[in-house]
Homo-oligomer: A and B are copies of this chain.
Amino acid sequence: MKQEIIKRVTYTSLDEVMAKLKRESAVTDQLLSLAAGVFKDIGERGDKAVREYTSKYDKVEISGFRVTEAMMDDAERQIPEELKRAIAVASANIEKFHAAQKIAATVTETMPGVRCWQRQVPVGRVGLYIPGGRAPLFSTVLMLAVPAVIAGCREIMLATPPGSNGIPHPAILYAARVAGVESLYRIGGMQAIAAMALGTETIPAVNKIFGPGNSYVTAAKQYASALGVAVDLPAGPSEVMVVADGSANPRFVAADLLSQAEHGPDSQSVLVTTSSSFADAVYAETERQLATLPERETALSSLAGSAIVVVPSEKEILEVVNSYAPEHLILQVPDAA
Stretch of A95-103, A164-172, A270-278 lying at the B interface? A95-103
In the complex, which residues of chain B have a beta carbon less than 8 angstroms from the beta carbon of A124? 322
User: A179–B322 Cα gap in the complex (Å)?
Assistant: 26
The interface bits of chain A over 92-132 (1 if a CB of B lies within 8 angstroms of the residue's CB, else 0) are: 11101100110100101011001010100000100000000
User: A194–B89 Cα gap in the complex (Å)?
Assistant: 47
B97, B103, B118, B322: the one within 8 Å of A110 (CB): B97
B92, B100, B116, B222: the one within 8 Å of A226 (CB): B222
Contact B226 A27 (CB under 8 A): yes
The distance from the CB of A171 to the nearest CB of chain B, in whole angstroms, is: 21
* Nearest neighbor of A36 in chain B, beta-carbon distance: B29
Known: A93-B111, A124-B322, A322-B124. A118 touches B101 (CB 8 A): yes
- Cβ < 8 Å to B, chain A residues 54-112: 89, 92-94, 96-97, 100-101, 103, 106, 108, 110-111
User: A110–B97 Cα gap in the complex (Å)?
Assistant: 7
CB of A228 within 8 Å of the partner chain = yes
Contact A106 B100 (CB under 8 A): yes
CB of A25 within 8 Å of the partner chain = yes
User: A195–B93 Cα gap in the complex (Å)?
Assistant: 44
* Nearest neighbor of A107 in chain B, beta-carbon distance: B100
Please give me the 5 A-B residue pairs with the lowest Cβ-Cβ distance, nearest first.
A93-B110, A100-B106, A100-B108, A96-B110, A97-B116
